[in-house]
Amino acid sequence: MPTPSGKSLLTGGKYLALATALPGYVVAGFLLGAFADHGLHWPVLRAIGVILGTFTGLGQIVRELLRDEKRAQNPKEPSK
């Protein structure tokens, strides 16, 4: 079995982090919505929190993928 190179492990770790980003943002949105619901007694705030968490997570994923695509097109520029 061939040993994985350092670059493939780094890439795999980055995409694993992206895969867990969306559920993390959704859970955070739900928790913030539940906290606001507890204080304001508006049950719809939980749903709004989940929706905002979903859009925020998707935005983060798209932003990271666009950054990777830009780095692939310009490999000589230093990464930030």
User: What is the pLDDT at residue 35?
Assistant: 96
User: What is the pLDDT at residue 2?
Assistant: 56
Q: Which residue has the tokens 């979903």?
A: 54
User: What is the pLDDT at residue 54?
Assistant: 96
Tokens representing 68 are 């990777």
Whole-prediction pTM? 0.75
Domain range annotation of the chain = 20-71
Rg of the chain taking only CA atoms, in angstroms: 18
| Alpha-helical runs (H) found in the chain | 6-40, 44-73
User: What is the pLDDT at residue 56?
Assistant: 96
Which of 16, 57, 50 minimizes the C-alpha distance to 31?
50
User: What is the pLDDT at residue 17?
Assistant: 84
pLDDT along the chain (80 residues), means of 10: 65 82 95 95 95 96 91 73
